[in-house]
Amino acid sequence: MDEINVSSFIKKWLASKNIEKLYINGRWEETKSKKRIKVKNPATNEVIAEVGSASKVDVEAAIYAARNAFDSGEWSKSSAYERSSLLNKVADKIEAHLNEFVEIETLNNGKTLKESKGDVEGAVATFRYYAAIIIGATGETLQVGEPFVSKVVREPIGVCGQIIPWNYPLLMAAWKLAPALAAGNTCILKPSEVTPLTSIRLFEILETLSLPPGVINLVNGTGNNAGQPLVESNEVDKIAFTGGTETGKKIMQHSVGNLKKVSLELGGKSANVIFADADYETALDHATFAIFNNSGEVCSAGSRLLVQKSIYEQFVKDLIVATKKIKVGNGFKQGSQMGPLVNEQQLKKVKAYIDIGKQEATLACGGNQLIGEGYEKGNFIEPTIFIDVDPRARIAQEEIFGPVLTVIPFETEAEAIKIANDSPYGLAAGIFTDDGSKAERVSTALRVGVTWINTYEQNLIEGPWGGYKESGIGRELGTYGLEEYMEVKQMINTLKVEPTNWFTHENE
Ligand code: NAD
């Protein structure tokens, strides 16, 4: 293992017993299959742990536990105050173990320590946010006219299967668990088989908080063996999924058995539109951040940079200078600004897109895997820019999910909107301009779930997150995210108890 700054606690923890187990019904359990998945450090490709690989039988045990826990009502009918207090304790505990989570995330995902710290703080904030808003959750009474009284209440949906990707492992776990638990559901979390480690540590911490058995369950394993049985089960009432669009489509197909609720947070190919009147330095800074933070492994990455023609040439020159300064390295190393890609498969995919790009456009910088001192065995790649890209080119249409930027020139506002909307995805977009009305017009015209004006990648817990078109169904975060974990029930009562006499009278 690359041992740059990995604490002795983490080294011991990686060899501990829970790593190989699943958390089912309040206990750490061996997988029935006894199979293991090798987990690697992306900076070295060395195996750092072997985690349990759940089979269908294990997943069914977790579903059974979650079903019983939900039906018992101990958690699902507990007071909002009780649930809120638990979520605050989760936040306190993560905060108390912040450095551990940061190290584990960097070791498993490859992102820099600074990026991991941002994620862990985001997870803490998510638990605190849902702890706060569940206290104030209310129903409604409708003014329907006598003799009827109608009230609307919200109830938890039931057993929730939550399937998450590898790019923000702990943060995605928090985005799923916090609102679901706040609403009173029971959960089965299925982390990515590539990055299961922070979820395991999170469940060790949750275990100390004495939740009723079965309320939270953790099944590590592959999409086919651990994910699909969750999706197909008629005992699961909701699937909340974050991941690739193709997987999302499969999940919709496999979930039809009991018409369970499905929410999907999927891929993107977000446009970042720079108008000539924008604050130049700010736009330049955000343009590099938008694509190269988290090594470009971000669903809402600003991977299509649209630049107005009058500043195009200079902007591209300055962008290349700024990009060449980005320090790529092991996430643990002081001074590293961009870590490796998550695994060899992702590296291969990104390199294949770079080869496609070379046929389709002009490679302006980067494009190479980084090898040599400090990079020997890891999945390091240079931040890469293609310029003069045709908006219909594959590298401008398909999600690469790596540090590869496509730059597209445009002349007019209308043309920028047309290019930005010409995508099967609709997750997010950035707009840089000094003209407030123009910003508002473009923001309104874009078919995306989130727009950022003169900023990029600000994920506010208080607001809805999710996509139009093939970027997903439903919303996370904010009160919108809570609603996704609640059923709505209308309860109609009458002030006059009387028969309808519908069938006892002659037809008039
Ligand atoms: P992925 O779709 O390969 O895997 C995501 C999860 O689904 C993993 O846990 C995987 O094991 C599981 N899975 C795979 N096949 C399955 C199946 N048949 N049934 C059930 N579960 C299955 O995605 P990934 O490569 O881990 O993550 C990258 C993708 O996630 C990108 O497309 C990215 O845009 C997207 N993403 C979206 C958001 C968002 O908020 N919209 C956030 C993060 C990542």
CB 131 less than 6 A from any atom of ligand 1: no
Cβ atoms of 269 and 430 within 8 Å: the answer is no
Nearest protein CA to atom 23 of ligand 1, as residue: 243
b/e per residue 151-177 (b: at least 16 CB within 10 A): eeebebbbbbbbbbbbbbbbbbbbbbb
DSSP 243-259: S-HHHHHHHHHHTGGGT
Nearest protein CA to atom 12 of ligand 1, as residue: 223
Q: Which residue among the candidates 29, 299, 360, 470 is catalytic per the annotation? A: 299
Q: Which residue among the candidates 29, 115, 265, 457 is catalytic per the annotation? A: 265
Q: How far apart are CA 51 and CA 308, in angstroms?
A: 49
Cβ atoms of 392 and 386 within 8 Å: the answer is no
Give the model's pLDDT for residue 4: 66
Q: How far apart are CA 14 and CA 6, in angstroms?
A: 11
**Two tokens at 291?**
């694509």
How remote is the CA of residue 115 from the centroid of ligand 1, in Å? 20
Give the model's pLDDT for residue 290: 98
**Two tokens at 453?**
């004006």
3 included as an active-site residue: no
Collapse the DSSP code of 47 into the 3-class scheme (helix H, G, I; strand E, B; otherwise coil) and give the result: strand
Give the model's pLDDT for residue 374: 87
How many Cβ atoms from other residues are within 10 Å of residue 85's Cβ? 13
Distance, first Cα to last Cα, the chain: 86
Burial label, 149 (beta-carbon count in 10 A; 0-12, 13-18, 19+) = middle
Give the model's pLDDT for residue 343: 98
Give the model's pLDDT for residue 2: 45
Q: Which ranges of the chain have pLDDT less than 50?
A: 1-3
Going by C-alpha positions, the residue among 389, 396, 387, 393 that lies closest to residue 364 is 387
Cβ atoms of 339 and 330 within 8 Å: the answer is yes
Q: Identify the structural domains of the chain with CATH numbers, from first to last.
A: 2-266+471-490 (3.40.605.10), 271-453 (3.40.309.10)
How remote is the CA of residue 106 from the centroid of ligand 1, in Å? 19
CB 243 less than 6 A from any atom of ligand 1: yes
Q: How far apart are CA 298 and CA 427, in angstroms?
A: 11
CB 233 less than 6 A from any atom of ligand 1: no
Q: How far apart are CA 158 and CA 63, in angstroms?
A: 11
299 included as an active-site residue: yes
Nearest protein CA to atom 11 of ligand 1, as residue: 223
Q: How far apart are CA 433 and CA 275, in angstroms?
A: 5
CB 450 less than 6 A from any atom of ligand 1: no
Cβ atoms of 223 and 164 within 8 Å: the answer is no
- Residue type for position 5: N
Q: How far apart are CA 369 and CA 36, in angstroms?
A: 30
Going by C-alpha positions, the residue among 191, 160, 157 that lies closest to residue 173 is 191
Per residue in 200-228, pLDDT tens? Answer: 999 999 999 989 999 999 999 999 999 99
Q: How far apart are CA 143 and CA 150, in angstroms?
A: 7
Tell me the pTM: 0.97
* 285 phi and psi angles, rounded to 5 deg: -60, -45
How many Cβ atoms from other residues are within 10 Å of residue 235's Cβ? 16
Cβ atoms of 262 and 254 within 8 Å: the answer is no
